[in-house]
Structure 1
Amino acid sequence: MNPIHIVVAGATGRMGREAVRMIAGENHFKLTGAVARTHTGEDIGEVIGVGGLGIPLTDSLEEALEQGQPDVLIDLTTPSQVKRHMELAIAAGVRPVVGTTGLTEAEMRELDERCRERGIGGIIAPNFAIGAVLMMVFAAKAAKYLPDVEIIEMHHDQKLDAPSGTALKTAELISKERDEKKQGHPKEEETLEGARGGYRDGFRIHSVRLPGLVAHQEVLFGGPGQLLTLRHDSMNRESFMPGVKLAVEEVMKQTGLIYGLEKVMDL
């Protein structure tokens, strides 16, 4: 089997470093480019401490795509960069695998059309942790029977978006399985703005940002005399790599843009 050639954007970030390590350890993957704002010209392997990989860092995705001739772009940058990066990759016939959320539904439809025009696949995963994906799927199943629900997501204090993409994806899956139901007392009043969290289809999403956290989420379901809690914790960013690996392998088989890793899992 020919190796899958991969460029990583955001290669010196915390997720990007783990992705490079994962690629270097897989016989059927080959790193052909690394993009970051810092350490330009230095070997990415030396920068992240795994030894020379023969891949110099560049701050130009266009250059990495042209020189690396990849099959897949793993983009682990920021919401402000991801759309442009996906457009560049798709235009070059490169399949994007994206772990950054923040795109609108209209933007995803547009990118889906571009993928289909080129006959390639793309995957956006709000969370690459397999356990987190299972939590989201189980939450959707539970919502059929326990429609009173709230989501609490907790992340490190450097995260840029709130609520997280995982929380929004969880809410989307839940909303497909329950009718909108406004929860709480009908005369409920917030005496401190935001105390009840963000509103989505009748239920609430709460975001916590603290140093020491990585990525954590609880989905609480309440019923008469009972409480069901679904919780997932990522203790480190290595937890995301099996999902990244799966996404890279699966995107080679797809046509069009897929939102959510659960859609390429046997669930």
Structure 2
Amino acid sequence: MIKVVVNGALGKMGKEVVNAVKASTDMELIQECDINNSLDNYLSKNSVDVVVDFTRPEARMENVKTILNHGAAGVIGTTGFTDEDLEEIKKLCKKNKKGIIVAPNFAIGTILQMHFSRIAAKYFDTAEIVEYHHNQKADFPSGTAIKTAQLMAKERELFNPKLNDVVSNLDGARGADFKGIHIHSVRLPGMVAHQEVIFGEKGQYLTIRHDAVSRECYMSGVLMSIREVVKIDKLIYGLESLLGL
């Protein structure tokens, strides 16, 4: 049995992870940590295989260091990691001989959407990303949108080359810019998590969309990550490699 701690257990995603781990036949939920129940304090007194972390972006690196320093592996759903953060995590994994999986998104459909978008980026040089989330989400743009843009940018150096001379009538109207890919963030009550990647060409456009209507859709990816992270001693960023993509 894989001994699992869920950090951020009182959050929306944390509650789903708690239920999914409890229902699994090869895992044991041994602790639920949250703001009133310190992860560091618990790990200092108990042996743990995997910590699943769904907390806040500002706590991301502190939690990763706590997990590794106490000899556990980690599955991290918290967003906000920079390239510098990921490089540091690689070194920490090597030093502690434990694995960390950082995933901007655990929904299999979203991973496939990102993969399809990377393929489409080979053939379209004009693209934009629109991501929609509930209005309680702590950051923007989403980690999924950033990861999608990063994957697309591996196929070409610059997108939207013909739109560089447009005039803005209102600051921010075109959203964030990642190598020419404009990323727009919508935050409204009633939404869960949705993303459109829109490609355009003369006489046509292609939309690749994923809709998460329930947080249950993330659990297969979370459970897969828990099972895999105990087998590695390095950082894996994103679930593409776990799916063979």
Could you tell me the TM-score, scaled by structure 1's length? 0.89
Q: What is the CA distance between 1:184 and its match in structure 2?
A: 4.5
Of 215, 228, 231, the match for 1:253: 231
Q: What is the CA distance between 1:37 and its match in structure 2?
A: 2.3
Q: Mapping of 1:116-135 within 5 angstroms?
A: 116-135=94-113
Aligned to 1:191: 169
Contact 2:127 2:159 in 1 (8 A): no
Displacement over 6 Å in runs of 4+: none
Confirm whether residue 96 of structure 1 aligns to residue 74 of structure 2: yes
Confirm whether residue 7 of structure 1 aligns to residue 5 of structure 2: yes
Aligned to 2:16: 18
Q: Mapping of 1:43-192 within 5 angstroms?
A: 59-192=37-170
* Partner SS state of residue 161, structure 1: coil
1:227-259 per-residue CA deviation (whole Å, 9 max, x = no partner) reads 111000110111110010011111112221111
Contact 1:34 1:64 in 2 (8 A): no
Provide the rounded CA distance (Å) in 2 between the counterparts of 1:185 and 1:68: 56
Provide the rounded CA distance (Å) in 2 between the counterparts of 1:187 and 1:62: 51
Q: Which amino acid aligns with 1:117?
A: K
Could you tell me the TM-score, scaled by structure 2's length? 0.96
* Partner SS state of residue 44, structure 2: helix
Q: Which amino acid aligns with 2:97?
A: G
Q: What is the CA distance between 1:140 and its match in structure 2?
A: 0.4
Aligned to 1:36: 34
1:89-147 per-residue CA deviation (whole Å, 9 max, x = no partner) reads 10111111000111221121111111111211110000011100110011001100112
* Partner SS state of residue 261, structure 1: coil
Name structure 1 gaps, 5 residues minimum. 39-58
Aligned to 2:196: 218
Provide the rounded CA distance (Å) in 1 between the counterparts of 2:230 and 2:166: 50
Q: Cα RMSD between the aligned structures?
A: 1.2
How many residue pairs match? The answer is: 245
Name structure 2 gaps, 5 residues minimum. none
Q: Which amino acid aligns with 2:202?
A: P
